[in-house]
Structure formats: C-alpha cells, structure tokens
C-alpha cells in the first residue's frame, strides 16, 4: 500500500485541476477551398505567433471561408468545462456523402477539438480514439451524440436527432482520417486546439495556484494530526 500522504496529495492536486476554469481554444481560420467530390481546403491555426497549416482533402458539399451564416450559434453546444469559447467565425466545411476525409497539420498539435454541426442520423468513423466533450441544442435543433469503440482500432461518433457539439482527440495529432457513414445533406465541422504538441506546459492561472496551495495545506494539517496521534 502506498503512503497515505501521497494519495492525499494526488487527490488534492487532481481536485485543483478539475476545478480550474475552461481554457480558450484557437479555432482554424479556413482560408480557401474547392468544393466537390474530390474537394480540398486550406487553413491556418495561429498559436501564439506560431502558424500551423491545416489541409483538408475529401468531399466538400460547400464551405465558408469569409462570412456567411454562423451555424455555431447558439454557442452553448460548443462550450463546456473544458472549452471556453465556441468557433468565433462562420468558417465551416460542409459534408454530404459517405466517403473518406483527411485532415493534416504541418506541426503536431495537442488536444484536437472537432466541432460538429448537425450530425443528424449520420456517423463519423475515425482512425483515432476520442471523447465527447459537449453537445446540445444548436442551429438546426437538438440531438444526442454517442461514442462507439468498434474494437478494430476505429471509433465512431453517431448521432440521433440534430446533434451539435465537440469531440476531442487527446493524443498528439499530425493527421486524422475519418469516413462519413451516410449520405446526408448536410453536416459540417471545423477544428481547433489548445496548442502545439511539443509546446511549453501551460502555467496554471492564479485560481488554480490558490486551489493547489489549499490542497497542500490540508495535506500538511492531516499529516501533523496523524503524527500527533501516533505519539
């Protein structure tokens, strides 16, 4: 059995991390693209002065790179205890056919967030694992999203109704491939991240420091009481 103080310290730090506020996501700025069965699009992530080029290849029903309807309003489905901000522009790539799609990044990024608009009764089958961060009522209505582990190294997000929300890929990502499971006009997406996979560890915000110090103080008090009882 491990030392009780270590467990208490770990628990306190975990609680402090869980209580920290959501962080801002940098969403991709889609710059240009070509719709069609063999479409493509290019964009950029501006990560604190470091630019990451983003390239999409695959079917595109339509795309918005400068203005248009903002399908991320209402913003609630895209915000959570993890994500502080919904996509800030109407930039979107809309899909409609059951084909394979690929995203590539010029530098590996961490915490890839994938915002979904109106998945409907469709599904996206990815070549990497993910978690559902948030979902709710969006521009086209309400629905639910579910994660399915297919057991062969592929993972699927499925929808019922009109789901809008965000999924996250937790490992470092240089590229990601997925396939839409149904022909359906239309469903859309964009992507964002906290930063580079090899970037510096974020410095905790003042609130987080306070929580960590409070947790460590509690551990010190409990340790002293335990020592006093043993005397």
Quick: pLDDT tens for 134-167. Answer: 999 999 999 999 999 999 999 999 999 999 999 9
Q: Please check the confidence at residue 41 and state whether its pLDDT lies above 80.
A: yes
Q: Where are the domains of the chain?
A: 1-20+204-231, 23-200
For all residues of the chain together, what is the average pLDDT?
Answer: 83
First-to-last alpha carbon distance for the chain, in angstroms, is 22
Quick: pLDDT tens for 176-216. Answer: 999 999 999 999 999 999 999 975 434 444 444 444 445 44
Q: Please check the confidence at residue 60 and state whether its pLDDT lies above 90.
A: yes
Cα angle, residue 97 at apex, residues 95 and 101 outer, rounded to 5°: 65
3 state DSSP class of 17: helix
pTM score, whole prediction: 0.78
Cα angle, residue 10 at apex, residues 9 and 16 outer, rounded to 5°: 90
């Amino acid at each position: 059995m491990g030392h009780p103080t270590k467990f208490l310290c770990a628990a306190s730090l975990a609680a402090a991390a869980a209580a920290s506020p959501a962080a801002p996501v940098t969403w991709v700025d889609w710059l240009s693209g070509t719709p069609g069965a063999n479409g493509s699009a290019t964009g950029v992530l501006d990560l604190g002065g470091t630019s990451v080029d983003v390239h999409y290849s695959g079917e595109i029903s339509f795309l918005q790179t400068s203005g248009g309807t903002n399908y991320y309003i209402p913003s609630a489905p895209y915000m959570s205890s993890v994500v502080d901000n919904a996509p800030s522009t109407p930039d979107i790539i809309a899909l409609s056919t059951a084909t394979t799609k690929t995203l590539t990044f010029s530098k590996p990024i961490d915490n890839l967030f994938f915002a979904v608009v109106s998945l409907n009764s469709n599904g996206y089958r990815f070549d990497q694992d993910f978690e559902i961060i948030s979902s709710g009522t969006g521009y086209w209505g309400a629905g639910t999203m579910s994660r399915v582990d297919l057991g062969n190294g592929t993972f699927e997000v499925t929808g019922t109704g009109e789901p809008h929300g965000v999924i996250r890929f937790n490992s470092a990502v240089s590229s990601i491939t997925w396939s839409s499971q149904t022909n359906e006009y239309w469903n859309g997406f964009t992507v964002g991240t906290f930063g580079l996979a090899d970037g510096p560890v974020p410095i905790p915000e003042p609130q987080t420091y306070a929580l960590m110090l409070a947790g460590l103080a509690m551990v010190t008090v409990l340790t002293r009481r335990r020592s006093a009882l043993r005397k």
